[in-house]
Structure 1
Amino acid sequence: MAGWWRALPRAVQRYPWPTNVLLYAALYSSGDALQQRLRGGPADWRQTRRVAALAVTFHGNFNYVWMRVLERALPGRAPRTILAKVVCDQAFAAPVGISAFYTGMSILQEKDDIFLDLKQKFWNTYKTGLMYWPFVQLTNFSFVPLHWRTAYTGVCAFIWATFMCYSQQTGDGTLQSMISSLWVLMAETAKRPPEK
């Protein structure tokens, strides 16, 4: 394990696109596994594979390209430039990512109306994202080198994917619905007698 960890920086510099995309997809799909665990149900590996497929085919690649386009359009780390990058990220990339997630998951789950989740949950999810992503991207654009930005976003997307996968499965796109649900689940777990 230690050898792999030491080789990672070289892999990211030597093969930035596939390494970043695969790291992003692994972290994003782990968010789905975590939300399933938090909900207390049995593991649904088909669902996690769907999330991984969406992360590796779209989200990781989109993120990788978006970070480079943004850096080319707004180069540097001056405070105004960083703020402009954050605003662009939230105005353009966030709606694309949310839309791709809800629509992509509906397609992979073979739902009749592939836009239903998007129509019902987009605005709540976008508003919730505005409480999280601007701070993540402010740090990303200020301190993280370009060749690590997608991987860093993947680390932060682990938390976001936990929320998104919960919202797609049973939530309404608000953080409040997830917290309320987890609170009820914890209360029910506390009431159960201990297993022998």
Structure 2
Amino acid sequence: MSGFLRIYKSLLTKYPLGMQAVQAGTLMALGDQVAQNFVEKRNFKDLDFVRTSQFFGIGFCVGGPATRTWYGILDKFIGSKGGLVAVKKVACDQILFAPFFIVVLLSTLGFMQGNDINSIKKKLENEYTDILISNYKLWPLVQLINFSFVPLHHQVLVVQSVAVLWNSYISYRTNRDIVKPSS
């Protein structure tokens, strides 16, 4: 295991954005599989691996790069140490980033599900507020701990690890009207 961690740390140092994209994609895919297996209780033959690959793609192309870039911006303009710095970062994260990122996430999922713009707007009208409220029940505390104690290069990993459960929730919420019953 120590060999794996050494390779991971080396790759994270050499390719921070790429590694964080890979880990975000992997953990988003895992969140979708948790939703399908444990929330929706699908049989193996009913698992939607296309949906899982879509979650991987969103994490890889959007989630990882966006959060890593955002955390870098926060670090540059607000700082990296201290309780007040962490509180300011959480406030910026939850007031500026979270509401916007939820729209991006839900819209991207909608397009990947083959929905047109009107369907996506309707989904946003129906789902956005509940998801944002749920976001505010979980993420401020997670981010306060993350910004207070975790070095910048590991913050995306911490968030994406917690996000396995969050992504399970998002996967379920965005697919519940198209979920096939298990046989």
TM-score by length of structure 2 reads 0.88
Are positions 1:148 and 2:154 aligned together?
yes
Are positions 1:138 and 2:144 aligned together?
yes
| 2:78 corresponding residue in structure 1 | 74
Count of equivalent residues = 172
Q: For CA contacts below 8 A with separation 6 or more, give which structure has more relative contact order.
A: 2
Q: Deviations over 1:89-124 (max 9, x none)?
A: 001111122111111011011113222221111111
Letter in 2 for 1:8: Y
Q: Distance in 1 between matches of 2:80 and 2:102?
A: 27
Q: 1:161 aligns with which of 146, 167, 170?
A: 167
| 1:40 corresponding residue in structure 2 | 41
How do 1:9-20 and structure 2 match up within 5 A? 9-20=9-20
| 1:27 corresponding residue in structure 2 | 27
Q: CA deviation at 1:76?
A: 2.8
CA contact under 8 A between 2:17 and 2:64: conserved in structure 1?
no
Q: Distance in 1 between matches of 2:58 and 2:20?
A: 15
Indicate the percent of aligned positions where both proteins have the same amino acid.
24
Letter in 1 for 2:35: Q
Note the residue ranges of structure 1 that are not aligned, 5 or more in a row: 172-184, 186-196
CA contact under 8 A between 1:24 and 1:151: conserved in structure 2?
yes
CA contact under 8 A between 1:21 and 1:150: conserved in structure 2?
no
Letter in 1 for 2:164: F
Q: Distance in 2 between matches of 1:101 and 1:111?
A: 14
Q: CA deviation at 1:2?
A: 5.3
Q: Distance in 1 between matches of 2:131 and 2:171?
A: 11
Q: CA deviation at 1:51?
A: 1.1
Query: Aligned-residue CA RMSD in angstroms?
Result: 1.6
Consecutive aligned runs of 4 or more in structure 1 exceeding 2 Å deviation: 1-6
TM-score by length of structure 1 reads 0.83
| 2:108 corresponding residue in structure 1 | 104
Q: Distance in 2 between matches of 1:146 and 1:76?
A: 8
Q: Distance in 2 between matches of 1:3 and 1:94?
A: 35
CA contact under 8 A between 1:21 and 1:151: conserved in structure 2?
no
Q: Deviations over 1:34-93 (max 9, x none)?
A: 100011122100111111111111111110100000111100322111101001100111
Q: Distance in 1 between matches of 2:155 and 2:14?
A: 15
Instruction: Determine which structure has more spread, i.e. the larger CA radius of gyration.
Output: 1
CA contact under 8 A between 1:24 and 1:55: conserved in structure 2?
yes
Q: Distance in 2 between matches of 1:165 and 1:80?
A: 34
SS state at 1:132 partner: helix
| 2:123 corresponding residue in structure 1 | 117
